[in-house]
Amino acid sequence: LQQRRGLRLSAPAAIQVTVRDALNQALDEELERDERVFLLGEEVAQYDGAYKISRGLWKKYGDKRVIDTPISEMGFAGIAVGAAMAGLRPVCEFMTFNFSMQAIDQVINSAAKTCYMSAGSIAVPIVFRGPNGASAGVAAQHSQCFAAWYGHCPGLKVVSPWSSEDAKGLLKASIRDDNPVVMLESELLYGVPFEMSEQAQSKEFVIPIGKAKIERQGTHVTLVSHSRPVGHCMEAAAVLSKEGVECEVINLRTIRPMDIETVEASVVKTNHLVTVEGGWPQFGVGAEICARIMEGPAFNYLDAPAVRVTGADVPMPYAKILEDNCIPQVKDIVFAVKKALNI
């Protein structure tokens, strides 16, 4: 009636959605869409998930689609890989990726290499997902970032979301992909709300694996990051903007395959590069980005050496004040940008 009268109807507004709810929404939609999809892991069913990512899914889909497992990562990861080889599409949740070390033989030797070793005749469409990187107050054995570990291995795709849209779109794309995908989430982001566009609220919303996103346009320096540190980069960019420095912030979204073309195009524009990550410096994601830039056409456009901001090169301390000093903070990014720009 309003349209008949010539009145313009406004589109549904964007809404605030937490990363936890975005992941839950993605799982729900994909379980509903494809009966081959199932979720397994510790406490994912009756307890609704250790982080409540799978809240309500067991009651909706039952024991065959949402499966509680024993505390045996090697065991249930192996079951999931075998199910994928047999034509199902498992989503295997690790309570933390630190515990995926118990199952790394299944992830690397069984999942990642099978398509190649079978000359393409056996696909392994599986998603390994769960929290990665530092949490809060959980010490060294629960606070590593595995982006560089898994990003090192051919045969895997590795995604690392920041926002709620990242989380939903990348999880849906990962479940639909015919290759094994490692999805590295951040426990500290689960309860954080982000704006979700009308497009992202669609059941068919997916984010292409292997495509970075420019979160903020800038002209003076390129900041490249993934997962939670993207937020720190956005905060640092806001601080630096008040001092007349405009940062271009790139959210990698995918670690492997890496969208180096987007980074190169930005470096050609800004002539400066700073990488930011929560992982250790040696052989890290930032080290790979710097190497790719040095080897490619964008190197000739750099006006100063690239600068890496990383976690400290030590096992994570338990004490909060030491933990804070081991994780990149906004002030560290601001310092690195000023170093790169020589100001």
Task: For the beta carbon of residue 282, count every other beta carbon within 10 angstroms.
Answer: 9
Residues 90 and 80 sit within 8 Å (Cβ to Cβ): yes
Q: CA 117 to CA 120: how far, in whole Å?
A: 7
Q: What is the DSSP letter of 216?
A: E
The residue to which tokens 């409540």 are assigned: 52
Name every residue whose Cβ is closer than 8 Å to that of residue 230 and which is 6 or more positions away in sequence.
162, 163, 215, 249, 251
Q: Which string of DSSP letters, residue by residue, matches 145-180?
A: --HHHHHTSTT-EEE---SHHHHHHHHHHHHH-SS-
Q: Catalytic annotation on 73?
A: yes
Catalytic residue among 73, 93, 185, 187: 73
Catalytic residue among 43, 142, 152, 235: 142
Max CA pair span of the chain: 67
Residues 115 and 296 sit within 8 Å (Cβ to Cβ): no
Q: CA 75 to CA 72: how far, in whole Å?
A: 5
Q: Catalytic annotation on 30?
A: no
Q: Measured on CA atoms in the order 253, 259, 264, 266, is the torsion positive or negative?
A: negative
Task: For the beta carbon of residue 294, count every other beta carbon within 10 angstroms.
Answer: 12
Q: Is 20 exposed, middle or buried (0-12, 13-18, 19+ CB in 10 A)?
A: buried
Q: CA 303 to CA 310: how far, in whole Å?
A: 22
41, β-bridge pairs: 68, 93
Structure tokens at 222: 């390129």
Q: What is the DSSP letter of 50?
A: T
Q: CA 50 to CA 70: how far, in whole Å?
A: 14
Active site residues: 73, 142
